[in-house]
Amino acid sequence: MLRCHGTQVTQHRDLPVNDEFLAAAARLIIMGVRCDNSGYSLNVSSPVTVQDGLCITIPCAFTYDASHDDPHAPLYGYWFAEKHQEKHLVATNNPGRVKKISPQDRLRFKMSKLRLKWGDCSLSIHPSEATDNNTFYFFRMEKGDRARYDYNQEGRTVSLIVTERKPDITVSEPLRAGQEASIVCSAQWCASSGRPTVTWIGFSKDSTNISVPNMMDSRVERRVDFIPSAAGHRRNVTCKATYNSGDSRVSVARTIALNVSYAPRTFQFSGHLTLSNGSQLELTTYTQIVAQEGDSLLVRCNADGNPAGAETWVKKPQLSTAQLPTSNNTLQFLDLKLQDKGEYTCRAENGEGSAKEVFFLQIKRKRVMNGVLREGSFWELPVSVQNQSTLECLMAKREEC
């Protein structure tokens, strides 16, 4: 027998002491059976989680007070389910009480019988149902008239959480553009649910290798080998598991968005040019900007990369004492001067690499002579002209203006 502070689990008299009994004894020790002064103790995990429609075995070990033992009485165990303050019997090895269990519960709930004598009170549910969610289960033992105990105190009941049935997806993180990667889909199954068929949706056939399903005792796995690309970032891929059990057919799926790391690419400049008279021109895709002394300029550098890169600005030619008016990815001049002209490079960099893009800024001189605003020697603009379209036309040096 196993003893724990006056508590024992008795070996059945017809069973010899063999390796199986010693293994059971070792398992009780490893599981950490808790003993208390009363001599009655139980070790069980809580809460436990199972997917709807699948099976679960809840490991359980118990002891009882040796001083209450009747060696001539059979040992009976009972599992009760309690929900909304109502309880009912779901499993027992007592033949006189089995009729109190509903036919459906008799099929779904099973408990140790012979192994009960070794302190094994494990409960199996085949299969679980959505209605089992948030149900509490507790164990009771009886052996003779004195050894009778409900293990329903705090810490000794089992709370069952039933979740939606879905396959699990494991990604070999991180996914990096151009480097081979694998994604595994795993679908659990048991005898009552039937073994599922696992398929992948969302991968192109010419860039992937979908492996033959790996059949295991409690799950089916299917792996995809592929080479991620920047274009595949945030693409949705789906693993689908189809269960066929008798006449019923159930399909469940899980979808994830691929998170692919790649170097910065696809630069885009944006911003606006504010003229000295307050008119504002929006800037979109461009490689050269022509402005005038005194204008204001704001340019943003946006580079597509994952993770987002850090942008820096460089000017050529760069004066030794000059500091570029930048903030994060934004370059801003409130009062353009002739020395601001030049080649501006935005460089974006992340852990995957770097890239750069260039635009050219040209500054024209502004002069005022005899009431006329003169810009260099190319064109002149009367001070009274305020019309935006005329202004843009004149800046473009069109003769028809």
Asked if residue 74 has a cis previous peptide bond (ω within 30° of 0), the answer is no
DSSP for 194-207 reads: -PPEEEEES--GGG
User: Do both 159 and 116 map to the same domain?
Assistant: yes
Residue linked to tokens 């040019």: 273
For residue 256, the model assigns a pLDDT of 96
> Within this chain, do residues 37 and 83 fall inside the same structural domain, yes or no?
yes
Under 8 Å CB-to-CB from 333, ≥6 apart: which residues?
296, 297, 298, 325, 340
From 214, 237, 258, the end of a domain falls on 258
CATH number at residue 339: 2.60.40.10
354: domain range? 263-364
Per-residue pLDDT 10s for the chain (401 aa) are: 333 333 334 333 333 444 444 444 444 333 433 435 478 999 998 999 999 989 999 999 999 998 999 999 999 999 999 998 899 999 999 999 999 999 999 999 999 888 999 999 999 999 999 999 999 999 999 999 999 999 987 667 899 999 999 999 999 878 999 999 999 999 998 887 888 999 999 987 766 777 777 777 788 999 999 999 999 999 999 999 999 866 778 899 999 999 999 999 878 888 999 998 889 999 877 788 999 999 999 999 888 999 988 888 888 887 644 568 887 789 999 999 999 999 999 999 999 999 999 999 999 987 655 444 444 433 333 333 334 454 455 445 444 44
Helix (H, G, I), strand (E, B) or coil at 98: helix
Q: Which are the contacts of 274, defined by CB distance < 8 A and separation ≥ 6?
A: 280, 281, 295, 296, 297, 298
pTM of the model: 0.65
Burial class (CB in 10 A: 0-12, 13-18, 19+), 372: exposed
Q: Which residue has the tokens 């307050």?
A: 278
Domain count across the chain: 3
DSSP type of residue 73: S
Residues 201 and 104 in one domain: no
Last-in-domain residue among 258, 293, 308: 258
Same domain, 141 and 269: no
Q: Are residues 252 and 282 in the same domain?
A: no
Q: What is the pLDDT of residue 153?
A: 78
Question: How many of the other CB atoms lie within 10 Å of CB of 219?
Answer: 20
- In terms of C-beta density within 10 A (0-12 exposed, 13-18 middle, 19 or more buried), how is residue 282 classed? exposed
